Structure 1
Amino acid sequence: MKSVELICNGCVRPITNVPFYKCSQHNCDFVLHEWCTRLPSQIQNYHDHPEHTLVLLPKIPRDSKGVLIGVFTCSNCLLFCNGFAYGCRQCKYFVNINCGFIPEVITHETHPNHILLRFKASSPYTNICKGCWGRIKGAGFHCATCDFYLHTSCALLLPTTIRHKYDKHALSLRYYPAENHSGEYFCEICEDEFGPNLWFYHCSMCASSMHTACAPVKLQCDQLSTYFRIKSAIFGYFNVKFGERYKIEEHPHPVTFVQGIKDDEQCNFCHKELQYHMIFKCFRCKVASHFWCWRNAVVIHDA
């Protein structure tokens, strides 16, 4: 049987054994952690947008064409998200609710002797993240006395221990090469080699390793590509909940918001591959297109 996992519509994190609320309609998968029902309605003086109050939004507003946007790029971590947001409609500035409460100062195991201060990158070509070795384009953390920088997502979103369906043991996040691990490192999921200077997950008992982006913590997200590893050490859809259905004008059936797989082949609009991308798919007539292609072509409503 296929595993079923409840994903909170607010913070887009798995529902485990904590209290939560679920829609009473049997065909609706809308669920919320109890703490997500108690979020403050506003945030004043937010780090990068202090001039306006950020308001809690269950959905990003519709655009001028009446299209339900839903998915947005967080202005802080730059990851896609379709959960709750804090936003300024006037400036079209939106952050996911997790980034809405990021502290100004943190400590991190990889740099234990100094605190790390939050900063906004002035140039995308200046600061290199020590976690994924990618360039920091949005906000991040840095040590004021050392040349040490981390993406917000690398610093705060990578769990120290995970379990993956392809490994029977827990994998731990490694910041440095694993002890007694000889030879080249290669990812057990994508089978690509990678240098031990990158953070990675490792199982000491099996001597197996995997990219942090190849080890998504949600069951519904287990397809990946090199694109996401280049973009971030975090899986590209870490903050996205799939499975919601929509009604598309000029299409007779509801379509489902899912992640594309190899069998989906090409987009009906742009004729490019759908694998790994966010797509709308009709499971009745097998029509599928990129999320942004269908969104720009027609009007979309909740199903």
Structure 2
Amino acid sequence: ENEDEESADVSAITKVLEWNDAGEATVIEHITHIHHLTLSDRVGEYDNKCCDGCLLPISDSFYYCTQCDFFLHKVCVELPKVKQVWHHRCQSSLVLTSNELFRCVACGYWSKAFAYKCEECKKRTCLRCIIARTPGAHTCVGHKHPVFLYNEYRGGCVACGKNNIKGLLRCKDCDFSLDYKCFSLPITSQHKSDEHLLSLTYHDDNSYSESYFCDICEERRDPNLWFYHCATCDTSAHVKCVIGRHSFFKPGNIIEVRKDIHEHPLIVVKKIYYYPNCGKCGEPCFDLALECTGCNFIIHLACPR
């Protein structure tokens, strides 16, 4: 069993302005945002929004800003400013950071959400992987039993089908294992191929083998692997086709790039129907891209790296 990790008792909430009768902080100041944040449980009104901390959809109690488009899950707000974790090889504490472009050392996704940064090696871990690596039982929406992290276990992931993965979240009661990426997949996601939200689905019960195709790439898919589905339109798609390479960026994020690439800050935009050519490589900019609002310049999200 893994030893419990210790978190430094330093809250990222800098000030509580209002409390409710249940003892919850209803209006707060937080180190990651310049405006006050207000607690809400009206999840249904914001089902098209995502948390700026973990970039997963708003699906539970959350804080929101009344002055701008900023949301945080309650659990993300309550994370400490400094963490000491068992799974990081450096002895240095991890510090909560925001508004920095990084690639998660655990799952490999690029993001500009919150992260915990090691002050010694400078590597960052996204909140989704920090939560997945926290000792103890984890609830998985695609499985009836809790799962536990086995950092040294090597095996296959039931969601994506990849094998020989070291470090999996496993069920103690049955042969069920997930890697970090699949454990942290959004329950719902959007894609230009469908006007509705697509739901993460864990097994295809359709008995017609000819239906096992991805409606985005039109390639075959394994019905035993997880996929995204719209029940209204009967749209089904590979996880990788829906999530893509840059799913953990929020349109509107401002990215500073090297001056030799462009002199102005660039904004993350989502191109759906019009695909201008990248100013660096010349290829069309599909989906997320970086655009300058002051001049006619756009590049792929990956090109500045």
Q: State the TM bucket, normalised to the shorter chain.
A: 0.5 to 0.7
Q: Within 5 Å, which residues of 2 pair with 1:73-84?
A: 73-84=103-114
* 1:9–1:179 distance in 2 versus 1, CA, 3 Å: closer
TM-score normalised to structure 2 length: 0.64
Asked if 2 retains the 8 angstrom alpha-carbon contact of 1:21 and 1:34, the reply is no
1:189 pairs, out of 216, 226, 230, with 216
How far apart in 2 are the matches of 1:106 and 1:134?
A: 21
1:268 corresponding residue in structure 2: 279
1:13 corresponding residue in structure 2: 56
2:289 pairs, out of 261, 271, 279, with 279
How far apart in 2 are the matches of 1:136 and 1:241?
A: 32
CA offsets, 1:245-271, max 9 Å, x none? 357658676531234567444332233
| Aligned residue identity for 2:96 | L
1:211 corresponding residue in structure 2: 238
How far apart in 2 are the matches of 1:109 and 1:20?
A: 23
Give, in angstroms, the shift of residue 9 of structure 1.
2.2
CA offsets, 1:58-94, max 9 Å, x none? 24xxxxxxxxxx2212122222221111110211221
1:288 corresponding residue in structure 2: 298
How far apart in 1 are the matches of 2:197 and 2:58?
A: 21
Asked if 2 retains the 8 angstrom alpha-carbon contact of 1:72 and 1:82, the reply is yes
* 1:17–1:129 distance in 2 versus 1, CA, 3 Å: closer
2:301 is aligned with 1:258: no
* 1:4–1:196 distance in 2 versus 1, CA, 3 Å: closer
Asked if 2 retains the 8 angstrom alpha-carbon contact of 1:76 and 1:139, the reply is no
1:233 corresponding residue in structure 2: none
SS in 2 for 1:98: helix
2:85 is aligned with 1:45: yes
How far apart in 2 are the matches of 1:37 and 1:109?
A: 22
CA RMSD after TM alignment: 4.1
| Aligned residue identity for 2:251 | F
| Aligned residue identity for 1:194 | R
- Identity fraction in percent: 30
Structure holding more strand per residue: 2
Asked if 1 retains the 8 angstrom alpha-carbon contact of 2:142 and 2:202, the reply is no
Asked if 2 retains the 8 angstrom alpha-carbon contact of 1:77 and 1:139, the reply is no
How far apart in 2 are the matches of 1:138 and 1:74?
A: 16
How far apart in 2 are the matches of 1:294 and 1:163?
A: 25
| Aligned residue identity for 2:266 | V
* 1:135–1:74 distance in 2 versus 1, CA, 3 Å: farther
* 1:168–1:83 distance in 2 versus 1, CA, 3 Å: closer
Asked if 1 retains the 8 angstrom alpha-carbon contact of 2:202 and 2:224, the reply is no
What are the ranges of 5 or more consecutive residues in structure 1 without an aligned counterpart? 60-69, 217-227, 229-235, 296-303
1:133 corresponding residue in structure 2: 161
Give, in angstroms, the shift of residue 275 of structure 1.
2.4
TM-score normalised to structure 1 length: 0.64
SS in 1 for 2:296: coil
Give, in angstroms, the shift of residue 202 of structure 1.
4.3
* 1:157–1:195 distance in 2 versus 1, CA, 3 Å: closer
- Aligned pair count? 255
Asked if 1 retains the 8 angstrom alpha-carbon contact of 2:147 and 2:169, the reply is no
Give, in angstroms, the shift of residue 16 of structure 1.
6.4
SS in 1 for 2:268: strand
What are the ranges of 5 or more consecutive residues in structure 2 without an aligned counterpart? 1-45
